[in-house]
Structure 1
Amino acid sequence: MKSFKKLIFIFISFSLLFVLLPPHTLAASNPLTESYRDIEYTIFIDGKLASSKDQAYLADNGTIYIPIKMFKQIGSLIAVGNGFEVKTKRKKEQVSKKDTILYKGITYISYEKFLKVSGYSGSNEDDLMVAFMWGDEDGATRTKKLKNGVLSVPKAYRSVFGEKVYSYALDQPGWIVGMTQLYQLTEVTIQSANGKTVTEYIYKDIGFSNFCYYFDYEHFIHIAFKGGEYWANKNNLPSSNPLYHLEKIKIISVDIKKNNVIVKAKRASGKSITFKLPVTDDPNDFINGLFYDNDPKKDYPDWSSNVWKLISQHKIKLGMTYDQVLFSWGNPNRTSNSTSSLGSIDIWVYGNTYVTFYNGQIYSWSDY
């Protein structure tokens, strides 16, 4: 009986403890840990990119968190006692550890607290996912020039500013750190983590082709094609490509080097092969039209082995259908059609060769 009463006493004591103690005493809230996913935020200080080395994040509660070590970019940061001592050209201030949070082994401070401690001014452009800070008149002037450049470009392209991208010219990731409008062209400046820059252009109604969003690049490298099986379409592949028509390959890896997609694959024979293909604005689209993602023979099981042999050799014969000619020779340069009571006549032109179909099958072909 005494043991039972003792258990009741312990239970009541712990219950009172949870009721009486302040919530933060029991468990510290960490907005970044509690956020659904990492949302990177780009920071500019005095008109220069600051977050390439020290990545900032936006938490689900709408607060921007900046690595506390970013203070070193504008002054000094020293760990003292139960916090930090910060010194900038504007002021000297103490930061308590209770005003910071730890995320993935890095100490963060809120954007608002960063401004207060540093004495800097700032503006948060949440529609761009970019925050600006400046510490003096020169910094304010550079920031204003940077923002005015962004405002000069069409609204459809402004969201690119501050984005992390993969530059085909630099062969590495970078950030859009400058934008300006030049007639029908939007000029952008890309800066890599090591400070190298390159100028690229966004063309009206076309978009950009010399860089891609970094998340598209990561999906391309790690997810999109690895282990995938494809069948070569030599009608669209470069003539220098070593694969033969309808050859099956299994992609081992893909990468981007010097404006080319580098593909490493295994042939049906088990032999390894490496080849390059032109890169596209979205690298995940590079394969479109160049390969079939299903075995064509399984899609058309009723076609004879003789027809497939001719197709693999890029040959045609009398009686072939539209689809069979498309597989063998690809899309024609132009077509014409006429219909009468006797039936339908189609003419497909491939260079100087005219292929005539009667009621959907090859009737004749000739060169002119």
Structure 2
Amino acid sequence: MYKKNIPTSVIAFLIILIFFSCSTRIEASSKVIPPDSYVSDEIAVFFNGQIIISPKKTFNIDTSKYSGTYIPLKLLNELPKVTVNFSNPITIKTENKTSTINQTDTFLYDNTTYITLNKLYEVTGFTGKYVYDPNSLFLWSSADGETKSKNLINQINNVTYDFHKSFMGKKVYVYDEDISGWVISMEKSISGLTNFKIQLKNGKVIEELAISEVPDSFCTEFDTVLINARYNGKYYWADKTQLPSSNPLINIEKVYFTSVKIKGREILIAAKRNGGASVTFKIPIKNDPFESIKSNFYTENPKSTYPGWSTDMWNKIAQQKISVGMTPEQVLLSWGGPNDINSYTSKNTRIEQWIYGNTYLHFYNGNLESWSKY
């Protein structure tokens, strides 16, 4: 068989060509952060007082070898008047300087190239401050940007509730608007309440006033996902003493949740009844959407808690009826908690009066003796 010899010069040329071809594809990262490293929640980034909305996420990362704040290299391209050229070496150009980044300056985490916060300061000439409570990074490139950034930071520090501070820069879902947005500022009002400014996805900016520690007009976007993950695919028992009267379930009825969604100011729940029939219903949101579910459903079968009660007693509770001889626990399951309780105790006697609106229940030594309406 005839074999054609390839000249040595051609082989050398091909090797060089392959080398340079591959080198242009090398990810500009020489340090790999282990996937099991501690990684914080996403850090909100503000530049000259304006939020940077981006899918590229900034984190605090802590390992035995690498610790600090890490910024995605591509996020720099989204900052005003910053240009990043991703050729080798990477070049970063701002209004005031041009810098290069080599492999030793970068870190690879989750298939994304990062640089440290200190390196960002070095190559851009920017200054900034990471603030722990709102988990936010404030960057500025000018005296005016510094003033705006520090005003935001001071407003956050003055807010009454620490929990409110955690919403800064977060993506939230606004109930009445039925749309998501980002918290771009917060300020303590004259009355001590917190006034949130939210930039919606449609560009509209609204203000929401929180009158308690848990805002009652919005929740985090993450909560809208978490609520389904937490409650879907499990059995619950209806507490009809708390559910709206229009709810189709009966008291202590067992249901299996198949879908849980936040829509407007309501939680939409799809479920399967014990016989297999499908049922859907809504629960109004009262402050915390998770508490709205907890307060309307038992997570364990009440019958397992009180195995000695008769079938007749459980039927009365399911129908939300009361009868003479019931214990306080049985009345609570049937009617819920009273509006008020009056009590008298002596050496051998305990008398209680439970008030439900204009109905008065009378307990004698732990059992329902009578009731009357006024």
Residue 188 in structure 1 maps to residue 190 in structure 2: no
Residue of structure 1 equivalent to 2:77: 72
Contact 1:168 1:256 in 2 (8 A): no
- What is the root-mean-square deviation in Å for CA atoms of aligned residues? 2.6
Q: 1:221 corresponds to which letter in structure 2?
A: N
- Unaligned runs of at least 5 residues, structure 2: 1-28
Distance 1:193 1:212 in 2: 15
Q: Which amino acid aligns with 1:79?
A: F
Q: Answer with 52-61 or 255-264: which moved more.
A: 52-61
TM-score by length of structure 1 reads 0.83
Secondary structure of the 2:38 match is coil
Residue 146 of structure 1 and its aligned partner are, at CA, apart by 1.7
Counterparts in 2 of 1:128 and 1:220: CA distance versus 1, 3 Å: same
Q: Aligned letter for 1:30?
A: V
Q: Secondary structure at the match of 2:243?
A: coil
Of 314, 317, 323 in structure 2, the residue corresponding to residue 311 of structure 1 is 317
CA change 1:217–1:308 in 2 (3 A) is: same
Report the alpha carbon displacement of residue 188 of structure 1 after superposing the two structures with TM.
1.6
Please point out which of 270, 276, 299 is paired with 1:270: 276
Q: Contact conserved, 1:160 with 1:176, CA < 8 A, in 2? A: no
Of 355, 362, 365 in structure 2, the residue corresponding to residue 356 of structure 1 is: 362
Q: What secondary structure sits across from 2:39 in the alignment?
A: coil
TM-superposed CA distance for 1:269, in Å, is 1.5
Note the C-alpha offset of 1:51. Answer: 5.1
- Alpha-carbon distance in 2 for matches of 1:34, 1:337: 58
Which 4+ residue blocks in structure 1 deviate beyond 6 angstroms? Answer: none
Q: Give how far 1:326 is off.
A: 1.5
User: How many Å apart are 1:94 and its aligned residue?
Assistant: 2.1
Q: CA separation in 1, counterparts of 2:155 and 2:37?
A: 33
Instruction: Rate the CA distance shift 1:167–1:36 in 2: closer, same or farther, 3 A.
Output: same
Partner of 1:30: 32
Count how many residue pairs are aligned between Structure 1 and Structure 2: 339
Q: Structure 2 vs 1, CA of residues 209 and 122 (structure 1 numbering), >3 Å: closer, same or farther?
A: same
Shift of 1:31: 3.6
Q: Could you say which residue in structure 1 is the equivalent of 2:56?
A: 54
Q: Deviations over 1:265-301 (max 9, x none)?
A: 1111211111111224333222223111221222222
TM-score, reference length from structure 2: 0.81
Distance 1:122 1:353, change over 3 A: closer
Q: Does 1:242 align with 2:248?
A: yes
Q: What is the CA-CA distance between 1:341 and the residue it aligns to? A: 6.7
Show the counterpart of 2:6: none
Gaps of at least 5 residues in structure 1 are: 1-26
Q: Tell me the CA shift for residue 58 of structure 1.
A: 1.0
Change (3 A) 1:168 1:280: farther
| Cα 1:121/1:181, change in 2 over 3 Å | same
User: In structure 2, what is the Cα distance between the partners aligned to 1:343 and 1:361?
Assistant: 12
Distance across 2 between alignment mates of 1:300 and 1:278: 30
Query: For the structure 1 residues 177 and 63, does the alpha-carbon distance in structure 2 shift closer, same or farther, using more than 3 Å as the test?
Result: same
Is 2:154 aligned against 1:148?
yes
Do the aligned partners of 2:30 and 2:107 also contact (CA within 8 Å) in 1?
A: no
